[in-house]
Amino acid sequence: MLGRRLVNGVESTGLAVDDRGLQYGDGLFETMSALDGRIRHFGLHLERLAEGCCRLRMPMPATEQLEHDCSRVLEGLGAATVKLIVTRGPGPRGYRPPVEPSVSRIVMSSAARPRSEQALLTLRVCETRLGQNPLLAGLKHLNRLEQVMACSEWAEPAIAEGLMRSMDGRLISATAANLFLVRGGCVITPDIRDCGVAGVMRRLVLETAARKGIPTRIEDLPLESLAEADEVFLTNAVTGVRPVGEVLGTRCWPLGELTRALTAAVAMEDA
C-alpha cells in the first residue's frame, strides 16, 4: 500500500519550487519506524530535529503539528516508515535565509519493507569520501549528494551497505547507518565531530549499552581498526541493529555476543 503525503498539513504531492529545501537543501529530515500508528522513539527524533533547527537557526514546527501530521499519514498502515522533512520554506532568490522564515513540513509514509532474516550483512568500503565541516556534522540535513554518489558505486544486491570515510581516512559510517565495532568487550563508534550523522539508533545503542554496564567509547577509527574488531554492526532507526558478517577486502565475523545482546536490548526499548 502506498502511503500518504502531507505538505504543511494539506494532503498534497507537491512542494512549491521556490522552497529552500529544493533550492539549497536548506532543511532537515527524520526517517522513522512506526507500528499501528505509533512512531518508535518519536521523542528522540524530535530532540534531534530540534537540535538541527537550532544549529541551522530555523524555527522548529510545533510538536503537536508534527504529531498530528504523522498520525494522519499512518492511518490504515500497520508497520510503516515515516519520513519527515522540515525546510526553511519558500524565499526570494539568494542564499541568505529570510529573517522570518515560514518553515515547510513534509510528511510521507510508506508501508514497511519486508524485513529479511537477521542475516549477516556484507559491506564494501566506498571510494566516495565525506567532506569535513563541523558546522554541519551530526545533522541529518538535506545535503546528501555524498551519500548518493557513494551508493552509486555498486549495484550488487549482495552488498547491503557501503562504509564511508572522512577525507582524512577515518571510518565514519555507512551511507545510511551508523557504524559500531566491538573490541575487547567495549562498544566503539566513530567520532562524528566533523562529518557523519548523529543517528537516533546510535544514541540509543550507546545509552542502552551504558545502562547495561557495557563499556562504550567514541573514538577515531582508521580503516585498519576493522581487522582488530571482534564484532561489527550497523544501526539505523528503521532497521535497528544489524550485524555485519564481512567487509569486503578486510575480514569476516560471525554473529557476536554483544551485537546479539544489544539487538535484543534495543528492540525492548520503548520510547
Site residues for a copy of itself per CB under 8 A: 5, 7, 12-26, 29, 31, 56-57, 81, 83, 85, 87-88, 93-97, 106, 108, 110, 128-133, 135-136, 141-152, 167, 175-176, 195
Instruction: State in angstroms the smallest separation of the CB of 261 from a copy of itself.
Output: 29
Q: How far apart are CA 267 and CA 82, in angstroms?
A: 18
- Residue 56 sits at φ, ψ, to 5 deg, of -85, 0
Strands 104-111 and 2-7: antiparallel
CB 41 within 8 A of CB 247: no
Rounded least distance, CB 173 to a copy of itself, Å: 12
Comparing CB distances to a copy of itself, the nearer of 3 and 258 is 3
Closest CB to a copy of itself among 122 and 216? 122
Which of 13/158 has CB closer to a copy of itself?
Answer: 13
Minimum separation from the CB atom of position 23 to a copy of itself (A): 7
101-132 burial, b for 16+ CB within 10 Å, e for fewer? bebbbbbbbbebeeeeeeebbbbbbbebbbeb
20 burial level (CB within 10 Å; 0-12, 13-18, 19+): buried
| Cell numbers at 267, concatenated | 528492540
Shortest Å distance, C-beta 188 to a copy of itself: 25
Q: Which is nearer to a copy of itself, 7 or 229 (CB)?
A: 7
DSSP secondary-structure letter at 196? Answer: S
What is the smallest separation between the CB atom of 168 and a copy of itself, expressed in angstroms?
A: 10
| 270 Cβ contact list (under 8 Å, min separation 6) | none
Task: Compute the C-alpha angle 105/109/112, nearest 5°.
Answer: 150
> Which of 166, 175, 172 is CA-nearest to residue 148?
175
Q: 108 or 232, CB closer to a copy of itself?
A: 108
To a copy of itself, the closest distance from the beta carbon of 87 in angstroms equals: 8
Shorter beta-carbon distance to a copy of itself: residue 93 or 158: 93
